[in-house]
């Protein structure tokens, strides 16, 4: 059965305190792993797509990596504006379509 597990569920950091969020997945036929940021009451904002093990992508203070079983979202020297829920999703073919299967998210709070 397809499964996407994110940890930790919630994370509190001090401004400047680097950390990593984890996304473990079990899915057959992976067609990409997506990271999104979601602010309260808003739709998810696209961050990265990773397609193959060993791939890395960076954007400002964020860096995403991918292995065959998990992905990490590294946050370097976070700022309060990085506070949000970070969602991981895997895309796989199901029933003739490519579907996104989401994890439950990690709620990140960065305090000054």
Partner 1 sequence: GAVVSQHPSRVICKSGTSVKIECRSLDFQATTMFWYRQFPKKSLMLMATSNEGSKATYEQGVEKDKFLINHASLTLSTLTVTSAHPEDSSFYICSARDPRGTIYFGEGSWLTVV
Contact positions vs partner 1 (CB under 8 A)? 31-32, 34, 36, 41-46, 49, 87, 91, 95-105
Residue 47 or residue 110: which is nearer to partner 1 going by CB? 47
Residue 75 or residue 86: which is nearer to partner 1 going by CB? 86
In angstroms, rounded to a whole number, what is the distance separating the alpha carbons of residues 83 and 110? 5
Four-CA torsion 112, 5, 53, 110, nearest 10 degrees: 0
User: Whole-number minimum distance, CB 16 to partner 1, in Å?
Assistant: 27
CB-side neighbour CA atoms (13 Å) of 110:
17
User: Whole-number minimum distance, CB 109 to partner 1, in Å?
Assistant: 14
Residue 18 or residue 52: which is nearer to partner 1 going by CB? 52
CA nearest neighbour of 74 among 52, 90, 50 = 50
């Amino acid at each position: 059965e397809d499964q996407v597990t994110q940890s930790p569920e919630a994370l509190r950091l001090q401004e400047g305190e680097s950390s990593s969020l984890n996304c473990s997945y079990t899915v057959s036929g992976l067609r990409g792993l997506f990271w999104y940021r979601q602010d309260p009451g808003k739709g998810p904002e696209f961050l990265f797509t990773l397609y193959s093990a060993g791939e890395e992508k960076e954007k400002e203070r964020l860096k995403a990596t991918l292995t065959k079983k998990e992905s990490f979202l590294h946050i370097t020297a976070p700022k309060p504006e990085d506070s949000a829920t970070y969602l991981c999703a895997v895309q796989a073919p199901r029933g003739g379509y490519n579907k996104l299967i989401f994890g439950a998210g990690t709620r990140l709070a960065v305090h000054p």
